Amino acid sequence: MADKLTAVKGMNDILPAESGQWEWLEAQLRDLMASYAYRNVRTPIVEPTGLFVRGLGEVTDIVEKEMYSFEDRLNGEALTLRPEATAGVVRAVVEHNLLYDGPRRLYYMGPMFRHERPQRGRYRQFHQVGAEALGFAGPDVDAELIFMAADLWSRLGLKHVALEINSLGQPAERLAHREALIAYLSANESVLDAEAKRRLHTNPLRILDTKNPEMQALVNDAPKLMDYLGESSLAHFDGLRALLDAADVSYRINPRLVRGMDYYNLSVFEFVTEELGSQGTICAGGRYDGLIQQIGGKPAPAVGWALGVERILELLKSQDLLPAAAAPDVFVVVPTAQAAQTAAVVCRALRAVGAKVQMHAGTADGQGSMKSQFKRADGSGATWAVILGEDELAAGGVAVKHLRGEPGGQATVALTQLGAWWQALQ
Ligand code: ATP
Ligand code: MG
């Protein structure tokens, strides 16, 4: 036998046992987006590598070590499987001049690819849903995005999700803070681990995000970016806080909250839970006023978030909030091969009036016994069995049997009345 082929490590098949939950969550998200007037955008999964290098920043985790990059075999073009979608959305917005007649509210959903160490809540192919508001400068739309995510948790019934916010200020403010931070960290160089030493002069802000317990005291006392913010950055932050307060959305200011990508400024936020181990961030975002220009567009402000679908599903599961698997309404029992033509007509007639119908189909060994067909009917989760018994068919009808109630008899319904029978049940 040939060697078994398996999926790439960290990339998962989503099989029928779970795909219904995915579809349900996606439908909830589409409703949510529609209720906030965000419109769907679908960009390619493969983008020029340069888009991410330029958009995310050369010294980010993603660009340094997580991208699936390859050369186009025909023309040598450097390509990358998208590790996130904001850069691609912005590219599309610029390419198609979408901000020409005003700002835009957009959302996307789909797979992303990062070469990370696979573990619970962290995969190499994973799925994000993201919302981006492009062309809006004020904190009102930052708050709108936060409300949207908070609404999602309540629509889903999720509990124990906390909001953390921070401000990253503007580039000049970050620069002043960065110098102070480098000076402070350099003065404590003996406490820095190898990764921090490497980052000291490239991306010192990210050192504050370290998970190394031996560096926690050091980063706790580090100069805080908040103390370097100017008047207008502070006003933006206060504006956001006032909007959240007025709407009774609770939050914690986390001065150490920085985002993985270079492109963020002003508001940044994360929704976190303690119920998913160390992969506790379920949704993260912030403002990225510089990105559109960096990707070649006319300068315009923007803000957005992305949520991790796998992590949300995992949290829903742990809080027992996932819907039951979808089942057909009707299972059609086909005792003999001779009944197949009538069965096809019956199924289509029921579907035409809105029923979800699973037809028993034969195998090379025949139709299978009535007993085994009823077992399948039961396993399908259907509420009704419609049975094409010989005697009933001869009289122009079928038997119908309720599968989930009290054990009881069955009734006969004329073939011409099946649609009406189903409609009367609704
Ligand atoms: P982390 O700190 O967990 O690596 P990140 O800062 O890299 O997250 P973002 O790039 O902001 O994450 O992505 C937004 C969301 O997408 C995350 O909050 C998380 O829910 C999800 N996510 C990110 N990377 C992965 C992954 N490898 N597998 C599953 N979900 C992920
Ligand atoms: Mg990451």
Per-residue pLDDT tens for 256-277?
Answer: 888 767 778 999 999 999 999 9
Q: What is the position in ligand 1's atom list of the atom closest to the CA of 261? A: 10
- Cβ-Cβ contacts under 8 Å for 264 (sequence gap 6 or more): 168, 258, 286, 287, 288
Counting as low any pLDDT under 70, the low residues of the chain are: 260, 407-408
Ligand 2 center to 164 CA (angstroms): 17
What DSSP string describes 4-44?
Answer: PP-PPTT-----HHHHHHHHHHHHHHHHHHHHTT-EE----
The phi, psi pair for 6, rounded to 5°, reads -125, 165
pLDDT of 2: 83
Distance in angstroms (rounded) separating the CA atoms of residues 163 and 243 = 14
Q: Is the C-beta atom of 85 inside 6 A of ligand 1? A: no
Question: What tens digit of pLDDT does each residue of 114-134 get?
Answer: 999 999 999 999 999 999 999
Tokens of 244: 């959240």
The structural domains of the chain, with segments of one domain joined by +, span 16-170+230-318, 330-425
Q: What is the position in ligand 1's atom list of the atom closest to the CA of 283? A: 18
Ligand 1 center to 311 CA (angstroms): 9
Ligand at shortest distance from the CA of 259: 1
- Determine which residue's CA is closest to atom 5 belonging to ligand 1: 260
Q: Is the C-beta atom of 310 inside 6 A of ligand 1? A: yes
Q: Is the dihedral of CA 204, 205, 211, 212 positive or negative?
A: positive
pLDDT of 113: 98
pLDDT of 334: 96
Q: Is the C-beta atom of 204 inside 6 A of ligand 1? A: no
Backbone φ/ψ region at 193: left (φ over 0), alpha (ψ -120 to 50), beta: beta
Ligand 1 center to 308 CA (angstroms): 6
CATH number for the region 16-170+230-318 comes to 3.30.930.10
Q: Which of 126, 145, 262, 270 to mutate to test the pocket of ligand 1 (most atoms within 8 A of CB)?
A: 126
Distance in angstroms (rounded) separating the CA atoms of residues 190 and 199 = 14
pLDDT of 123: 98
Q: Which of 279, 303, 305 to mutate to test the pocket of ligand 1 (most atoms within 8 A of CB)?
A: 279
CB-count exposure of residue 278 (10 Å: 0-12, 13-18, 19+): exposed
Q: Where are the alpha helices (DSSP H) in 99-230?
A: 139-156, 171-187, 194-199, 216-220
Is 330-425 a domain of CATH 3.40.50.800?
Answer: yes
pLDDT of 365: 84
pLDDT of 346: 97
Q: Is the C-beta atom of 239 inside 6 A of ligand 1? A: no
Distance in angstroms (rounded) separating the CA atoms of residues 301 and 37 = 19
Ligand at shortest distance from the CA of 312: 1
Ligand 1 center to 310 CA (angstroms): 10
pLDDT of 264: 85
Q: Is the C-beta atom of 60 inside 6 A of ligand 1? A: no
Distance in angstroms (rounded) separating the CA atoms of residues 66 and 116 = 6
